[in-house]
């Protein structure tokens, strides 16, 4: 555990940052590069713990992966020539690694056992295991496949037509990746669209994937062709500085190369609804669109966050809750019960920790209700080993009167290893 005591005093945030690579896209670049035969190159890769654990898993399958700063080269013999791992595949804290690997391995010739850390051991896997079993996958685990460790015996699969019971990119992606090795056309139907990085990147690797009326279609037995992947900056990491720029007095922050995939940019809608001063420039139309975002200290208004926008900002809710403590009026966050099955129960964690800082916030069954603006004070916070809760606490410390201690900040390295350096880079003392 790495405890940190933060006491920023009077600071303003000023300057420009390049936020680290997108975690979802980085994971997928390794997985897809490993499935393809030949050499795939990746630029802008996120060197966070979760993505490094994905790399370690694929090295155990006989894939050669070289990391030079944020450039990664993957040399793979192709999925049909992977080695059976002689060791357990360790997926650490990463739900994405664990769930997508299930889909990748289910249709391979590989026998593998996967396990992760204490948080992963509590996260539900049947949401992925059940549809994969409908495809004839052979997966076993505690509580009939609900929890890790999980054992997978890869085998030929059958395509399915599956209607998603929850909006989850991890479930959709696992089914599509298994669908690559299934006979027939796999269809995944979503009532509310979840992030589509898998569909976009499969196309980059030469796979035909079509999306129509909320249904994704993919026909099996399409080989992936090695390619070059450009990883955009992670909007979920940028979110912490978008909120910091809005709530810390006299601030202006510019964030470059931020991924603005329309299935991930719900935070932009919310910032605009809350009247945050935000400029969007340099928009690119790459496979994953990007933009430069500039935020300034703002007078915020409360809003309602719920419905179809939730999957587009699910990982940003902890930091948006902090923003709401500084907005005028009552902000309601609803339809977000998925927060309960993230790295920790993020409804309970956000409400408990923001209350310790003096916020007016109550948990509901599917979200939280926050009334502001409220001055925050020092407190001893817990991160629950959850990177996004730890970073929410650290950004709160920038406006809190007094000292904020966070029990475990090492977890922040899961998605944003340079987070505290970036705060130091922007913080200008006023005293
Ligand atoms: O990988 P992990 O641990 O599940 O990470 C989180 C996060 O906060 O970084 C969720 F806790 O992001 C998920 C996200 O919530 C990453 C992800 C993806 O890359 O496909 C999809 C989302 O999860 P889900 O359950 O909606 O599919």
Q: Is the CB of 96 under 6 A from ligand 1?
A: yes
Examine domains 4-21+232-429 and 23-217 and report if their fold is the same. yes
Element (H, E) at 311: helix 310-313
Which of 305, 176, 324, 315 lies closest to 234 in space, CA to CA?
Answer: 315
Domain 4-21+232-429 has CATH 3.40.710.10: no
Q: Identify any residues that bridge with 183 across adjacent strands, giving them in sequence order.
A: 158
Interval between CA 96 and ligand 1 midpoint (Å): 6
Q: Is the CB of 196 under 6 A from ligand 1?
A: no
Between CA 210 and CA 366 the distance in angstroms is: 32
Q: What is the pLDDT of residues 41-95, one digit of tens each?
A: 999 999 999 999 999 999 999 999 999 999 999 999 999 999 999 999 999 999 9
Give yes or no for a contact between 193 and 264, defined as CB atoms under 8 angstroms apart.
no
Domain layout of the chain by residue ranges:
4-21+232-429, 23-217
Q: Please choose from 48, 51, 96 the residue to mutate so as to test ligand 1's pocket, defined by most ligand atoms within 8 A of CB.
A: 96
Q: Is the CB of 95 under 6 A from ligand 1?
A: yes
Residue 182 has pLDDT above 80, yes or no: yes
Q: Mean pLDDT over all residues of the chain?
A: 97
Strands 327-333 and 304-305: parallel
DSSP string, 112-158: EEEE--TTGGGS--HHHHHHHHHTT-EEEEHHHHTEEEEEEE---EE
Q: Is the CB of 170 under 6 A from ligand 1?
A: yes
**Predicted model pTM:** 0.98
Per-residue pLDDT band at 1 (split at 50, 70, 90): confident
Between CA 325 and CA 314 the distance in angstroms is: 18
**DSSP-derived 3-state class of residue 58:** helix
Interval between CA 89 and ligand 1 midpoint (Å): 19
What residues contact residue 371 under an 8 Å CB cut-off, 6+ apart?
A: 302, 329, 330, 331, 360, 361
Does residue 210 have a cis peptide bond before it, meaning omega lies within 30 degrees of 0? no
Which CATH number does the domain 23-217 belong to among 3.65.10.10, 3.30.750.80, 3.40.50.2000, 3.40.50.300?
Answer: 3.65.10.10
Q: What is the pLDDT of residues 268-290, one digit of tens each?
A: 999 999 999 999 999 999 999 99
Q: Identify any residues that bridge with 248 across adjacent strands, giving them in sequence order.
A: none
Number of CB atoms found within 10 A of residue 41's CB = 17
**Of all residues in the chain, what percent carry a pLDDT higher than 90?**
98
**DSSP-derived 3-state class of residue 50:** helix
Cα-Cα-Cα-Cα dihedral sign, residues 198, 201, 206, 209: positive
Q: Identify any residues that bridge with 304 across adjacent strands, giving them in sequence order.
A: 332
In this predicted structure, what is the pLDDT of residue 63?
A: 98
Between CA 261 and CA 428 the distance in angstroms is: 32
For residue 317, what are its two tokens? 């809710």
Which of 87, 74, 80, 84 lies closest to 114 in space, CA to CA?
Answer: 87
Instruction: Work out the end-to-end distance of the chain between its first and last CA atoms, rounded to an integer number of angstroms.
Output: 32
Alpha carbon of 116 to those of 34, 68, 139, 150, 334: distances in Å? 21, 26, 16, 10, 30
CA 154, 160, 164: angle at the middle one, nearest 5? 105
Q: Atom 8 in ligand 1: which residue has the minimum CA distance?
A: 315
Q: Where are the beta strands (DSSP E) in 20-110?
A: 37-43, 64-68, 71-77, 89-90
CA 237, 101, 144: angle at the middle one, nearest 5? 115
In this predicted structure, what is the pLDDT of residue 9?
A: 86
Q: What is the pLDDT of residues 201-255, one digit of tens each?
A: 999 999 999 999 999 999 999 999 999 999 999 999 999 999 999 999 999 999 9
The predicted model gives 177-191 an average pLDDT of: 98
Interval between CA 170 and ligand 1 midpoint (Å): 7
Between CA 377 and CA 401 the distance in angstroms is: 5
The more confident residue out of 429 and 408 is 408
Share in percent of the chain as helix, strand, coil (round to 5): 35, 30, 35
Element (H, E) at 186: strand 185-189
Q: Atom 9 in ligand 1: which residue has the minimum CA distance?
A: 315
Give yes or no for a contact between 119 and 344, defined as CB atoms under 8 angstroms apart.
yes
In this predicted structure, what is the pLDDT of residue 429?
A: 79
Q: Atom 10 in ligand 1: which residue has the minimum CA distance?
A: 342
Q: What is the pLDDT of residues 143-170, one digit of tens each?
A: 999 999 999 999 999 999 999 999 999 9
Per-residue pLDDT band at 431 (split at 50, 70, 90): low
**DSSP-derived 3-state class of residue 68:** strand
Q: What is the pLDDT of residues 95-125, one digit of tens each?
A: 999 999 999 999 999 999 999 999 999 999 9
Tell which atom from ligand 1 comes closest to the C-alpha of 28: 19
Interval between CA 10 and ligand 1 midpoint (Å): 35
């Amino acid at each position: 555990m790495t405890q940190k005591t933060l006491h920023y005093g009077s600071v303003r945030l000023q300057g420009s940052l390049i936020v680290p690579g997108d975690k979802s896209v980085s994971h997928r670049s390794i997985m897809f590069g490993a499935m393809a035969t030949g050499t795939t190159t990746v630029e802008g890769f996120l060197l966070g713990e979760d993505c490094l654990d994905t790399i370690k898993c694929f090295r155990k399958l006989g894939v050669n992966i070289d990391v030079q700063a944020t450039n990664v080269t993957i040399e793979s013999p192709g999925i049909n020539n992977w080695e059976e791992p002689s060791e357990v595949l360790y997926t650490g804290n990463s739900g994405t690694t664990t769930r997508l690997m299930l889909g990748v391995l289910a249709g391979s010739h590989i026998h593998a056992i996967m396990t992760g850390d204490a948080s992963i051991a509590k996260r539900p896997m049947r949401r992925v295991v059940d549809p994969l079993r409908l495809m004839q996958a052979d997966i076993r685990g505690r509580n009939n496949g609900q929890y890790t460790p999980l054992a997978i015996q890869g085998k030929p699969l059958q395509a399915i037509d599956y209607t998603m019971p929850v909006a989850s990119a991890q479930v959709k992606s696992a089914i599509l990746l298994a669908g690559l090795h299934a006979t027939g056309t796999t269809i995944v139907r979503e009532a509310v669209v979840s992030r589509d990085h898998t569909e976009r990147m499969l196309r980059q690797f030469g796979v035909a994937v079509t999306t129509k009326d909320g249904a994704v279609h993919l026909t099996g037995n399409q080989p992936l062709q090695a390619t070059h992947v450009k990883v955009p900056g992670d909007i979920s990491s940028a979110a912490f500085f978008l909120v910091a720029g809005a709530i810390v007095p006299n601030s202006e922050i510019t964030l470059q190369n931020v991924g603005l995939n329309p299935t991930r940019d719900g935070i932009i809608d919310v910032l605009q609804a809350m009247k945050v001063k935000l400029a969007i420039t340099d928009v690119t139309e790459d496979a994953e669109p990007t933009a430069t975002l500039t935020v300034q200290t703002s007078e915020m208004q409360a809003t309602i966050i719920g419905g179809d926008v939730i999957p587009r900002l699910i990982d940003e809710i902890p930091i948006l809750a902090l923003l709401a403590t500084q907005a005028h009026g009552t902000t309601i966050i609803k339809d977000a019960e998925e927060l309960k099955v993230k790295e920790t129960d993020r409804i309970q964690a956000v409400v408990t920790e923001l209350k310790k800082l003096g916020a007016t916030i109550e948990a509901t069954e599917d979200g939280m209700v926050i009334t502001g603006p409220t001055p925050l004070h020092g407190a001893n916070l817990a991160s629950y080993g959850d990177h996004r809760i730890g970073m929410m606490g650290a950004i709160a410390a920038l406006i809190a009167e007094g000292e904020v201690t966070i029990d475990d900040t090492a977890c922040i390295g899961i998605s944003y290893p340079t987070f505290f350096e970036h705060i130091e880079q922007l913080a200008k003392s006023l005293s």
